[in-house]
Chain A
Amino acid sequence: MNKIWILTKRELKTFFDSLIAYVLLGLFLGVSGYFAWQMQGNNIFDRGEANLMPFFDIAFWTLFFFIPLLTMRMLAEENKTGTIELLLTKSVTDWQVIFGKFLSVFILIAIALLLTTPYYYTIAKYGEVDHGVVVLGYLSLLLMSGAYTAIGLWVSSITNNQIVAGLLALVIGLMFHLIFGVMASSSSGMVGDVLSFLDMRGHFTSMIRGVVDSTDLLFYGSIIFIGLVLAESQLAKRHIA
């Protein structure tokens, strides 16, 4: 755990030193704040209910775009510059490297979400808030971020080019974010069920409405697990390639 935390701190420091963390945090707060509080028609005030649904809706999209920007360089850059060799010949395992990098993105997203807690405080002060729903909403955003981070890490591990890694992560993410859902709506039977299971929006929506199902947790857990296993396998490929 200690090694994972050392790696996580280094990655977090890189995010903040390179200003990418400040830029993304600023953009995230700016965009999600504007849409949640200012956007005419569907902002928090317009809804007449004390909940954060408009914020969760916009964060669902902003995080989708921001996470590939964070993950794209993580392993692609290490592969390109050769620093991965130096890293993996230190007293550290491939899994520790993967977990350390995963955790750094996850913590940055958690910081971004933590910075939006004044939204929660504000609506809680002026209305009757269902706290469970809000907590599940945040949890859903975190789990979704974990899933896209795992996908982003895997994609970053298969290429030396961070632009390719970013674009590929977006394309794969878009499948889960939108395309499987669209396909599911026009499919039936087992195919429809599978596509529905793969639709991120469906799981996300049920959780932000306060319904937590084991299927949702299984979905998020599976994507995180598979993404990380694929990333680790990609690193381990050097032994046989």
Chain B
Amino acid sequence: MSIIVENLSKHYGTQKAVDNISFKVESGQILGFLGPNGAGKTTTMKMLTCYIAPSGGNATVYGKSIKNDQEAVKKSIGYLPEHNPLYLDMPVIEYLEFSAAMQGVPKSQINQAVKNMLVTCGLGAEKHKNIGELSKGYRQRVGLAQAMIHDPDVLILDEPTTGLDPNQIIEIRKLIKEIGQKKTVIFSTHILSEVEATCDRVMIINKGRIIEDSTPELIRKKATGGEVLHITIEDAPNADTVIQQLNTVATVQSVTEKKEASNGFVVESKPEESSRKAVFKQCVANNWTLTEMRVEETSLEDIFRTLTRN
């Protein structure tokens, strides 16, 4: 295990920003932190990076405690805070050299470490520019480069794609995915599709507590319940007959007529069941022409809203 979090809490007065959370992250895993604003994602990350001390509990990063061995923890973590704060007056190359030195990279290896990061993050052409002159996408690359400059085992990225345009988001996502092949990555985001595209595991936090911890696929399955079919029967005799006939199918939970589409019906299956074949056969048996049948894809946004609503 690269990270073990045990009963971690952070209180601000009476407000519980993080409320007694525990989880473990395996080496080489990409963990997505999801949650509404103020859920406790950033606070958790700040505690893991030793920026703020926890009010209770503990966490270890490769066996080193965030309470007692902060220097070792900081060395094994690369961190990109929210809004990517950088020294805008420094040239990229100098900033990376400074970051490497601050993270204890031996002097003889700093040049090589900087060269590696310039290549990995595609910053070669921008290396002599002041960070303040760079576009937001390139600044984000500098942020990632400084986080990885000392070759840490764990990367913690707080909303790394916020404010980027769609192309930049795809580039950064690709970069995170590549990094995640070798390192443990924890990153928070509001973009839920990003979690599906990038993460091995998703943790949803709300009001300082973990309310879901699973793979994106399992969370989707769990939240959607039974299969939902949208069908259109071109020459349906009347809605009541169709509903009555389809309700006779053993796996069907309920059938409702779509108000917005003529001859359209929504068929919900019983949990863990699929009614596609049986519905098709029922239509054939009744000599109805089935012109549409699709399975409803519940978006991760809907699942997220469902899980975090109160």
Contact = CB atoms under 8 A, between A and B. Distances in A.
Given A10-B98, A91-B103, A85 B71 contact: no
A82 interface: yes
Interface residues of A, number: 24
Contacts of B79: 86, 89
Contacts of A81: 85, 88
Contacts, number: 55
Interface in B64-101: 71, 74-75, 77, 79, 81, 83, 85-89, 94, 98-99, 101
A47 interface: no
Given A88-B51, A241-B12, A18 B89 contact: yes
Contacts of B85: 81-83, 85-86
A85 B85 CA distance: 8
A209 interface: no
A164 B103 CA distance: 32
B166 interface: no
Interface string B157-201: 000000000000000000000000000000000000000000000
Contacts of A10: 98
B104 interface: yes
A125 to B, nearest CB: 43
A82 B81 contact: yes
Nearest to A88: B51
B50 A92 contact: no
A240 B12 CA distance: 8
Contacts of A92: 74, 102
Given A18-B89, A86-B81, A6 B53 contact: no
B104 A91 contact: yes
B1 interface: no
Nearest to A5: B101
Contacts of B75: 91
A31 to B, nearest CB: 27
| The 9 A-B residue pairs with the shortest CB-CB distance in the complex, in nearest-first order | A82-B85, A239-B53, A90-B102, A89-B49, A83-B85, A91-B74, A6-B101, A89-B79, A91-B75
Interface of A: 3, 6-7, 10, 13-14, 17-18, 81-83, 85-93, 238-241
Given A3-B102, A6-B101, A85-B85, 7 more contacts: A83-B85, A85-B81, A89-B74, A89-B81, A90-B99, A92-B102, A239-B53
